[in-house]
Every structure is written in C-alpha cells, then in structure tokens.
Chain A
Amino acid sequence: MEAGAIIRISGLFKQYQTVAGAVPVLKDVSLTIDPGEFVAIMGPSGSGKSTFMNILGCLDKPTRGTYVLNGKEVDVLSSDDLAHLRNEAIGFVFQGFNLLPRADLESNVALPLVYSGVDNGERRKRAGEMLEKVGLGSYKRSLPNQISGGQQQRVAIARALVNRPRIILADEPTGNLDTATSREIMTLFTRLNKEDGITVILVTHESDIAAYADRLVRFIDGRIVHDGAVTHVEAGNA
C-alpha cells in the first residue's frame, strides 16, 4: 500500500439487479496499481473483467468497497465529477475503436478537449500533434471509414492521449485486428508506457498480447486468482 499508488481498490463488490434477484459479478476484489505500470487483465468471459474495467474507467460505480484514483475517492463522486475524471485522468481505447463516423479524424481526436473547455484553435493544434504522434498526421481531414482498422485504432489512441491522462484503459484493443497490426498497436502502447510513463491497463483474451505487459492479473468468477509479473510461460498458459 505505497503512498504513490495511482489506483487503489479494496474490498470491491459489484452486483447487478435482475428480475431473478441479485447477480454478483465482482466479489471482494482488491488491487493496487502504481504509476507507470503496464498491467494486463485476463480471464474467461463472464469472469467480471469487463465490469472491473468499467469501474476503473469511472463509467460504473461499485456496489460496495472503495476505489481511490489519483488519491481521490471515486465511489462517492457525482456523475458530473465522474465525467470530469474520465475527461482528464483516463484515456479509453475500445475493441471497436468507437470513433464518430461522420466527424473527420482531427475532430475525433479533439473530442475530449471539447468537454474540458479548451478553445477551438488549441483543440486543433493538440489533435494535430497527437495524430502526428501515432503516425497519421497527414490524414486530419479523412473520415474514419476511409482508413484501415489499425489506423482507426491509432486514431482512438491519439484521442485517448489528447488530454494528457496518466492512465490508459484499453479493452481488447487488438480484438478486431490482424496479427501484424496488433503487434504495431502493442508496440505503440509499450512506447507510451516506457517513454511517457503512462500507466496502461489492458484487457485481453490473447496471451501473446498480454505478454507485452509487465504484470498479469487474472480474473475467474469475479475474483482475482492470480496477480504477478508476466513470464512467457504464464502468459502462454492462459
């Protein structure tokens, strides 16, 4: 329990109300992540890892337990404050890219800045820089459907980075991509982690993707069953 932890979760429970009664999804989950870590979260479908990511990303609230992000207790915040945290502290990367189909790449990347009150000129400038950073500087005016899937995921990463968050949450970021493109995207994440010191938390099914991370957390039936350094053997057995 170091003082510098960026994410500190303890005794976290989450259950969903259904007509058949309460369904527990997360059971007594505790996890601490330090700044600059590269964590892979694995687990079979229904193990609760997506729910855990939603809570990490401030999109959902736990039923019970505490979540401290950047030293701030999240589970007591209002929905407006959560929106603010999502905007400033966290960058999201999704499996399905989730770009606005009718907006050009520059506007897509600049979207988070709209909600942090940055003026238009500055928005364009920073979006342009981020597109450069992911190697798509010359496609500012293109629409998402005019570029490849790998390129779309780069744009999504640029969008996640534009507000200079300290954490990137990636939910199956390579799920829709071929092996070569997956490798490029993972190299990009590694670079962001190693060069810029951004904390990267990644959910994946594939052990060779998890192998890019330094630490592996494995969920089964709503509990953490493994938490430790990634070795290729462990990752391979996943």
Chain B
Amino acid sequence: MIGPMLTEAWSAMVANRLRTFLTMLGMVIGVGAVILMLAIGQGAQYEVDQSIASMGSNLFIVMSGSTTSGGVRMGGGAAPTLTLGDAQAISELSSIAAVAPVAPGTAQIIYEQNNWSTQVNGTTPGYLEVRDWKLASGYPFADSDVRAATRVALLGQTVAKNIFGDEDPVGKTIRIKSSPYLVTGILAAKGQSLDGRDQDDTILIPVTTAQRKLFGTQFQGSVRFMMAQAISAQAMPAAERAMNQLLRQRHHLQEGADDDFSVRNLTAIANAAAATARVMSLMLGAIASISLVVGGIGIMNIMLVSVTERTREIGIRMAVGARRRDILTQFLMEAVIISIAGCLLGVLLGVGGAVLINGITDTAVVVTLSSIALAFMVAAGVGIFFGFYPANKAAHLNPIEALRYQ
C-alpha cells in the first residue's frame, strides 16, 4: 500500500504548496547549517594539520637553562649550558634520529639595492632532517661547512622573493652584516606555523659561522637551543628520559640539583592544537545539529496543525475504507518527503555557502561526502521520528467524530 499512499501524500503536499514549503524550510536551514559548520570545522582542522606537518614530526626542543645576574633572572635559553658537544652526544642516542643545534639571531640581508631584515639561524645539516624541510633548488651546506665555518646560506622563500624578486638566487652572493655569503640553495615553502609566524622568512647558515663570524658570543660552542627528532612517536617518552639523563650526566649535576636545561615535547603541543581543532569542529557540528532538531520539531508542529486542519479529510478517507495504517502511511510519507526534499535543498545551500565562503575569504572550507551523508541520514531520521507522532495521531482519530468535525 505504500505506492498509492505515496501518491496521496504527494497530491496533498502539492495542494498545500505554501505549507509544504514552510515546513521544509526548517529542514533546509538545518541541513545547510550542519554541512556548512562541518565544512568550516574541517577546514580549520585541515589548516592545523598542515601547520603540524610543516613543523616536523616527533620533535623535542632542548633549551639551555636560565641564568641569574645580580638578582635578575634571564629566562630560559640565556645560560650557555648547552654545547655543540651535547648535540653530538644526543645524536648518538639510539632513540634519537637527528639533532640540530640552533643559534638564532636577526640580521639585515643585502643583495644589490635590496635589503631585508630576517631571522638568521645558525645550525647544522641535521636541521633540514629534523624539520623535514626540502630544498626547492640548489644544495644544502654540509658538515664540512660547519667544521670550517664557511660563509654559505640557504634562503627561505620569503627572503628569496624579497631580495631577489624573480632572479634565481642560487650561486649569487648576498651580504649579511656586510660580509659576503654564497647562496647554495633555496628552501621549499613551509607556510605558517601554528602560532602564525611565516616559517619561510628565515636564512640558515652553519652554526659555527653564526657564532664565530656573524653574531659572536663569549661562550664559544654553546647554543641557545637544539631540536631533536625521535625515531618514532612510540620512542618519544624513552627519548625524553634518555636525553634528560644524558644531559644531567654531561653537565655534572648532582642528585637533587635542578636541571640547567629543559626538554619540551613539541608533538604534545601540536597534538593539543589538533585536538582543539577537532573539538571546535565537533562543537560547530553539534550546534548546527540543534538546528536540525529544531527543523524536525518544525515538521512535527506543522504536521500536527495539518492533522487537525484535515480531520474531516481523514474522516472521509476512513469512511470510504482507509485502514488506520493507510492513514499512518500517508502522513508519514508526507513527513519523509518533506524532510528528504528539505535535505536535498539543504545540501545545495550548505555546499553553495561553503563555495561562497571559499571564494570571498581565504579560509579553508572542506565539504566532505561523509558530512553530507551524515546530515542527510540524520535529517531523514529526524523527519520520520517527528513525523510519526502526528501521523499516529491522525491514524487514531475516531472516524465518526472526524466526519462531524467542522
């Protein structure tokens, strides 16, 4: 009996176009909102994932300790406690894949008439490995460059663009603080970091060159921090323990003495950021699903009014031989058609809105098939669920009273 009841439901809906449309509207907006919110949430998650991937995986950052000078504490990284020797020793740990000591500084870069102030990081070839950073062109500097403290540099994309424009920088000579440096390679683009810094606005030079020739330091061979990569995510706790132990031993720290360094797990921070994005995405979806439920209640409201309004029609149908389940089927069909049609329009609205947001802003908005399927299924379910009560009410009207209803 579903076929003919479907036709009856359809003709009743066509006969009441405005009411049908208004009922549908709640569903359209609900589904549209769910799809759009999920798309925005997933877009945010995608951006965070990109940033995390650009940072490198399984990372630790090892900072030297703080120093106190006349009662003024200098903050982490100020004391010259970490050395290149520490870096070398850490790199020999079995749980560590690569280590890169970093001596950072800021300097003005000059090429012909262009100049640009940027972050100059003195480091070792291990840095590229730790950060999982490829070269766009040219070649990296080698350990021999570190040993000889040669004046070579790798340029980040932003730096290259700002002082070379369209020119190919590889093989050219730039000036950093008036000394010439040979550009051996260009780093691949990394984009924004988690905290929004432009990671491509940087120059890498050998750590020895930075310390001896560029910035100078009263503590030869010390570095402010280093980055270390564990061999795998599972090895991270073991690697952290091993590094702590090794550094305490190398720094001759007595039992009970404070660390003069600190080891931070960057992956944990990244995971926290990713979890935040996921929670936000989930929350947006949850808020939007409220509108879906409200849409469902809208269907129920209008169907209830419709049942009252059509009491006489129901009485007539029963008098000419409609069984209770025929009436139930007809009204349920109306609810299902309304919610499915509302769904389809809502999908169009949601996807259209996502495309629009993508077009007018640079926010990433990701519509996935699974979010459409989810919204669709929930909406159809909501329609049937909220359509059932009015349909059941209609089916259980007393035919005599229904016929007498004015």
| Residues on A facing B (Cβ under 8 Å) | 54, 57, 59-60, 79-80, 83-84, 86-88, 92, 94, 98-100, 102-103, 107, 111-112, 114-117, 120, 159, 163
CA distance A107 to B399 in the complex (A): 21
Q: Given the complex, which residues of A lie within 8 Å of B190, measured CB to CB?
A: none
Please name all residues of chain A whose beta carbon is closer than 8 Å to the beta carbon of B16 when the two chains form the complex. 102
Name the A residues within 8 Å of B321 (CB-CB).
83-84, 86-88, 112, 115-116, 163
Residue among B313, B320, B324, B326 with the highest chain A CB neighbour number at 10 A = B320
Q: Check B319–A98 contact: CB distance below 8 A.
A: yes
- Verify if B278 is at the interface (C-beta below 8 Å from A): no
**13 extra A-B contacts, CB within 8 A, seeds A83-B318, A92-B319, A115-B322:** A59-B403, A79-B324, A80-B323, A87-B320, A88-B321, A94-B403, A99-B316, A100-B316, A102-B15, A111-B320, A116-B321, A120-B7, A163-B321
Main SS class of interface, B: helix
Across the A-B interface, the 5 shortest Cβ-Cβ residue pairs: A87-B321, A102-B15, A115-B321, A112-B320, A83-B323
Interface residues of B (CB under 8 A from A): 1, 4, 7-8, 11-12, 15-16, 312-313, 315-326, 399-400, 403
Q: Can you give 10 contacting A-B residue pairs, CB < 8 Å?
A: A59-B399, A80-B323, A83-B321, A83-B324, A86-B318, A87-B320, A98-B316, A103-B11, A103-B15, A115-B323
Q: Give the one of B12, B313, B323 with max A CB within 10 A.
A: B323
Minimum CB–CB distance for A200 against chain B, Å: 17
Closest to A94 in B: B403
Most-contacted residue by chain A among B12, B318, B319 (CB, 10 A):
B319
Interface pair B312/A98, CB less than 8 Å apart = yes
Known interface pairs A54-B400, A94-B403, A103-B11. Does A115 touch B320 (Cβ–Cβ under 8 Å)? Answer: yes
How far does the alpha carbon of A120 sit from the alpha carbon of B320 in the complex, in Å? 17
Shortest A125–chain B CB gap in Å is 16
Residues of B within 8 A of A60 (CB): 400
How near does chain A come to B328, taking the closest CB pair, in angstroms?
Answer: 12
- CB-CB under 8 A from B4, the residues of chain A are 114, 117, 120
